[in-house]
Amino acid sequence: MEVFLPIAQVFINPIEILLLSAIVGVLSGLFGVGGGFLMTPFLIFMGIPPAYAVANEANNILATSVSGSTTHYLKNTLDYKMGFMIVIGGAIGTSLGIYTFTYFKGIGKIDTVISLAYMYILAIIGTLMLVESLGEIDKAKKNVVERKKLHVHYWIHGLPFRMRFPKSKLYESIFTPIIIGLFVGFIAAIMGIGGAFILVPAMIYIIKMPTRLVPGTSLFVTIFVSVIVTFLHSINYGSIDLMLVLLLVVGSIVGVQVGQKLGEQIDSSGLKALLAILLLVVGIAIAYDTFFANEISNQITKNPNTDLNFFSKFIEEFSKDMPFFYGLFSIMFAVILGIGAAFIRRFLSNLRKKYLIKAAK
């Protein structure tokens, strides 16, 4: 069974998209990393043009970030003040990223730029994760306990205009979170990812935030960055396809919940090595597709004259006639799905607790 995407103008198998997004969601929930740097390449491999894969995965990340951030809001594990400082940098970085995206799209090189960016990023992240995970496994076997330095200072800590962040109990230059946000926003605009793989370690090791506040604040920042990326991609390129977004969001949210539950019960050190190897394999596959299989990768099944159903026609016409409002609708669509998923999860969790209490009696 195949479904035609009216905006991306390609056929996809919805079952494959749902399963793949769920698997990536499980990995995200299990390891606490964003799934964008895996899901976007997979979408490209499935025949979706890179420019569309980037935009729609950014919208998917918005929904999953809203879902996770709502959960952390209910637990009061968010530093809003720090988050807004990072968002300021993220907005600047996103604007620069979209400008860069527009330039390379204009000269017809955007697909190559996206592929190369993923190739290098996945190779770097995969290698670092593999080295770290193998080190953890080796230390666990030898029962070695390593004491890490509590205070490591970099040039960024000497920047002026310091501000107090009561929630995190920090006295930090406002430029520190802004510069970090700038990098995250730039990468998010080009690659359609949330930037958690940069933001989370930066918040822990550079900003030195309490670990319990990092995941929620990271998701909070990702919401705003993803909103800007989604909106700009929508009004500038008309590349958001709500049919694809719906499939991605449903699969991802379910997968993330499963992954988080699994993460509470198993030791992920060995699995992290497998994830690192997967990232390296995907990076190699992208390199092969970019340099050796361009003809194959460009054979995308397109049929602009396909008879569309009512929903597909509505999406296509809405996107063309009112791009500004279509962008806003795409954002609200993702936000509502994300909030709904968070409250459903909370309802099911409370229901489970009540059931366990009754069973105990």
Summarised one tens digit per residue, pLDDT across range 17-42 is 899 888 887 777 666 566 677 788 88
pLDDT band at 58 (very low <50, low <70, confident <90, very high): confident
Mean pLDDT of 84-104: 89
CA torsion through residues 339, 220, 208, 171, sign: negative
pLDDT of 296 reads: 42
Mean pLDDT of 297-320: 64
pLDDT band at 152 (very low <50, low <70, confident <90, very high): low
Mean pLDDT of 296-314: 57
pLDDT of 8 reads: 79
Nearest 5 degrees, angle CA 42-CA 334-CA 119? 25
pLDDT of 102 reads: 87
pLDDT of 88 reads: 92
pLDDT > 90: percent of the chain = 2
Radius of gyration of the chain (CA): 21
pLDDT at 278 over 70: yes
Mean pLDDT of 138-162: 63
Q: What's the burial of 141, exposed, middle or buried (CB within 10 Å: 0-12/13-18/19+)? A: exposed
Number of domains the chain contains: 1
CA 49 to chain centre: 18
Output the 3-class SS for the chain: CCEEECCCCEEECHHHHHHHHHHHHHHHHHHCCCCHHHHHHHHHHCCCCHHHHHHHHHHHHHHHHHHHHHHHHHHCCCCHHHHHHHHHHHHHHHHHHHHHHHHHHHCCCHHHHHHHHHHHHHHHHHHHHHHHHHHHHHHHHHCCCCCCCCCCCCHHHHCCCEEEECCCCEEEECHHHHHHHHHHHHHHHHHCCCCHHHHHHHHHHHCCCCHHHHHHHHHHHHHHHHHHHHHHHHHHHCCCCHHHHHHHHHHHHHHHHHHHHHHCCCCCHHHHHHHHHHHHHHHHHHHHHHHCCHHHHCCCCCCCCCCCCHHHHHHHHHHHHCHHHHHHHHHHHHHHHHHHHHHHHHHHHHHHHHHHHHHHC
Residue 165 near residue 308, CB atoms below 8 Å? no
Q: What's the burial of 221, exposed, middle or buried (CB within 10 Å: 0-12/13-18/19+)? A: buried
**Nearest one of 207, 215, 206, 211 to 170, comparing CA atoms:** 207
Here the tokens at position 356 are 């366990």
35-49, 252-266, 301-315: segment of lowest average pLDDT: 301-315
37-51, 246-260, 288-302: segment of lowest average pLDDT: 288-302
Mean pLDDT of 158-173: 82
Q: What is the mean pLDDT of the chain?
A: 78
pLDDT band at 182 (very low <50, low <70, confident <90, very high): very high
pTM: 0.74
Most confident of 74-78, 102-106, 271-275: 102-106
The residue that leads in pLDDT, 141 or 250, is 250
pLDDT of 333 reads: 85
Which residues span the domain enclosing 78?
A: 3-360
pLDDT at 272 over 70: no
pLDDT of 188 reads: 82
Here the tokens at position 204 are 């822990």
Mean pLDDT of 196-209: 78
Mean pLDDT of 139-143: 70
pLDDT at 103 over 80: yes
